[in-house]
C-alpha cells in the first residue's frame, strides 16, 4: 500500500476533522478499469451497502467458506479498505477485477467499459448470489417457514414450500423501488396497472434541464396509437391508450443513470450527449403515485460517477463522494477534498464543443426518511 502524495495532502487538509475510523483510499487502474473503480468508490461510501458487505465478510470468516464469487471478492475488498492501518493510500483491487472479468466476458477486454453497465451487472450478480444462498439455506427444512439464520437480511425465503416468495435480499432493501405502469384505454377508460421493480432508473436527458425535469419526462404520459395500439381486455380489441410509469415505492438508495450515450442512426454509432443537466444536493421525487408512501421523502446526494471525455469510447471515469459532510474527488489512485460547490462543475456543457468534458453520469441519492 503506497501512500500517494495526494493522501498526505488529504490528511493534512482534514486534520483532526478526519472522521473516526474512516478510510480514504484510491484504487489502482489496471488498464481502463476506471469504470469499475468509480462505481466501487460510490458503493463503498453507500453506508448501508458497505455495512452489509463488511458484515458478510466477518461472518464468512468464521464459517470457513471457500466460495469465490463476486460477493466474497467485493466484501473482501471493502474489508481490506476498512481495516487499513493508514487513513489514506492506494489499494489494488486485483482479485475483484479478476473475478469481474471471469464472470462476464463483456468486461474481459481492455476496452473502455460503461460504468452503468458495470453497476447493473454487479448489483444483479450480488442479488443472484444472495438468492442462491437463501434458497440453499432453507432447502433442508422445506415446508417449514423458519427464521433465516443467515443474518444477511434475506427474509421469508420460502413460505409453505409451495409458492416461494421472491427472495428479498439486502441489495433489494437498499436499492429496490417499484414502478407502476398504468395504461388507460381511451375508449372505456379502464386503467390497467402493472408493477415493476427497479434497482436504478435510466433517464433520457435534454439540454439545459434538471434531473427533476428528466424524472418528470420519465413519468410523462405516452400515447399509444397507430401501430402501437393497446389491447384492452375489457374492450377485447386494440384501442388507443395512454400510458405512464410512476414511482409507487421509492427506494432507500436512488441511483439515477443519465442516458448520455445515444445511438445516432445517421452516424451509425454511439455519441456522447454532453447536455447540461443540473442536479441538486437535496431532492424530492416529483413523479410518485399519489398514494405512494414516502412520496414526500427527501433525498440527499452522496455520490456522483462522472464520465470524462467527448465520446463513448475514449473516456475516463471519476467519482465525487460525500463522506461525513465533506466532498471528495476520487480519480483512480488520487483522492482530493473538494468544496461542495465544485459538484456543480460536473453538470455538463451548454455548448456542443466545449473544453469541459466532465459530466455527471450516475447520481446516487440516499433517502433521509427514518423508516428505513
Of 28, 148, 206, 336, the residue at the interface with another protein (CB under 8 A) is 206
Catalytic residue (choose from 34, 46, 214, 232): 34
Active-site residue, 316 included: yes
- Residues 232-265 as b/e (b if ≥16 CB within 10 A, e otherwise) read beeeeeebbbbbebbbbbbbbbbbbbbebbeeee
Q: Closest distance between another protein and the C-beta of residue 273, in Å?
A: 8
Grid cell locating 179: 414502478
Contacts of residue 120, defined as CB under 8 A and 6 or more positions apart, other chains included, come to 199, 200
User: Is 310 among the residues that bind another protein (CB under 8 A)?
Assistant: no
Closest to another protein by CB, 213 vs 225, is 213
User: Is 367 among the residues that bind another protein (CB under 8 A)?
Assistant: no
Q: Closest distance between another protein and the C-beta of residue 295, in Å?
A: 8
Give which of 191, 195, 184 is closest to 223, Cα–Cα: 184
Query: Which range, of 92-100, 140-148, 202-210, 253-261, touches another protein by CB under 8 A?
Result: 202-210
Catalytic residue (choose from 56, 257, 316, 359): 316
The 3-state secondary structure of 203-257, one letter per residue: ECCCCCEEHHHHHHHHCCCEEECHHHCEEECCCCEEECEEEEEEEEECCCEEEEE
Grid cell locating 21: 475510523
Closest to another protein by CB, 275 vs 317, is 275
Contact between 215 and 202 (Cβ < 8 Å):
no
Query: Which range, of 62-70, 122-130, 175-183, 210-218, touches another protein by CB under 8 A?
Result: 210-218
Q: Closest distance between another protein and the C-beta of residue 232, in Å?
A: 23
Closest to another protein by CB, 102 vs 326, is 326
Closest to another protein by CB, 9 vs 244, is 244
Stretch 232-291 residues interacting with another protein (CB under 8 A): 275-276, 278, 280-284, 290
Using CA atoms, how far apart are residues 162 and 155, in angstroms rounded to an integer? Answer: 16
Closest to another protein by CB, 68 vs 296, is 296
User: Is 350 among the residues that bind another protein (CB under 8 A)?
Assistant: yes
N residues, the chain: 372
User: Is 208 among the residues that bind another protein (CB under 8 A)?
Assistant: yes
Q: What share of the chain is helix, strand, coil (3-state, %, to 5)?
A: 30, 30, 40
Give which of 211, 295, 214 is closest to 247, Cα–Cα: 295
Closest to another protein by CB, 5 vs 355, is 355
Total site size for another protein, rule CB under 8 A: 24
User: Is 222 among the residues that bind another protein (CB under 8 A)?
Assistant: no
Using CA atoms, how far apart are residues 69 and 212, in angstroms rounded to an integer? Answer: 38
Of 82, 213, 310, 334, the residue at the interface with another protein (CB under 8 A) is 213
Using CA atoms, how far apart are residues 71 and 244, in angstroms rounded to an integer? Answer: 36
**Greatest pairwise CA separation for the chain in angstroms:** 71
Which residues does the annotation mark as catalytic? 34, 316
Residues that bind another protein (CB under 8 A): 206-210, 212-213, 275-276, 278, 280-284, 290, 295-296, 298, 344-345, 350, 352, 356
Amino acid at each position: 500500500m503506497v501512500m500517494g502524495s495526494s493522501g498526505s495532502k488529504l490528511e493534512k487538509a482534514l486534520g483532526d476533522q478526519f472522521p473516526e475510523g474512516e478510510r480514504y483510499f484510491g484504487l489502482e487502474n489496471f488498464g481502463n478499469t476506471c469504470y469499475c473503480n468509480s462505481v466501487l468508490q460510490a458503493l463503498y461510501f453507500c453506508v448501508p451497502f458497505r455495512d452489509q458487505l463488511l458484515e458478510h465478510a466477518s461472518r464468512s470468516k468464521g464459517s470457513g467458506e471457500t466460495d469465490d464469487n463476486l460477493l466474497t471478492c467485493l466484501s473482501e475488498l471493502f474489508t481490506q479498505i476498512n481495516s487499513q492501518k493508514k487513513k489514506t493510500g492506494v489499494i489494488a483491487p486485483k482479485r475483484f477485477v479478476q473475478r469481474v472479468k471471469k464472470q462476464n466476458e463483456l468486461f474481459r477486454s481492455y476496452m473502455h467499459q460503461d460504468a452503468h453497465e458495470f453497476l447493473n451487472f454487479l448489483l444483479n450478480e450480488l442479488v443472484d448470489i444472495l438468492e442462491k444462498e437463501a434458497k440453499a439455506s432453507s432447502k433442508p427444512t422445506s415446508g417449514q417457514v423458519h427464521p433465516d439464520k443467515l443474518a444477511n437480511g434475506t427474509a421469508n425465503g420460502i413460505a409453505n414450500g409451495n409458492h416461494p416468495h421472491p427472495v428479498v435480499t439486502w441489495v433489494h432493501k437498499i436499492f429496490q423501488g417499484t414502478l407502476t405502469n398504468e395504461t388507460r384505454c381511451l375508449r372505456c377508460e379502464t386503467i390497467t396497472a402493472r408493477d415493476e421493480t427497479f434497482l436504478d432508473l435510466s433517464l433520457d436527458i435534454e439540454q439545459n434541464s434538471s434531473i427533476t425535469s428528466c424524472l418528470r419526462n420519465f413519468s410523462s404520459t405516452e400515447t399509444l396509437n397507430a401501430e402501437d395500439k393497446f389491447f384492452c381486455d375489457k374492450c377485447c380489441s386494440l384501442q388507443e391508450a395512454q400510458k405512464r410509469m410512476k414511482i409507487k415505492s421509492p427506494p432507500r438508495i436512488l441511483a439515477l443513470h443519465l442516458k448520455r450515450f445515444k445511438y445516432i442512426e445517421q452516424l451509425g454509432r454511439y455519441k456522447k450527449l454532453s447536455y447540461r443537466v443540473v442536479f441538486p444536493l437535496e431532492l424530492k421525487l416529483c413523479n410518485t403515485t399519489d398514494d405512494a408512501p414516502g412520496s414526500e421523502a427527501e433525498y440527499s446526494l452522496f455520490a456522483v460517477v462522472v464520465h470524462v471525455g467527448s465520446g463513448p469510447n475514449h473516456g475516463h471515469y471519476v467519482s465525487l463522494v460525500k463522506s461525513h459532510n465533506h466532498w471528495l474527488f476520487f480519480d483512480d489512485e488520487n483522492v482530493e477534498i473538494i468544496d461542495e460547490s465544485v459538484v456543480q462543475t460536473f453538470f455538463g456543457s451548454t455548448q456542443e464543443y466545449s473544453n469541459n468534458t466532465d459530466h455527471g453520469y450516475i447520481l446516487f441519492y440516499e433517502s433521509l426518511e427514518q423508516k428505513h
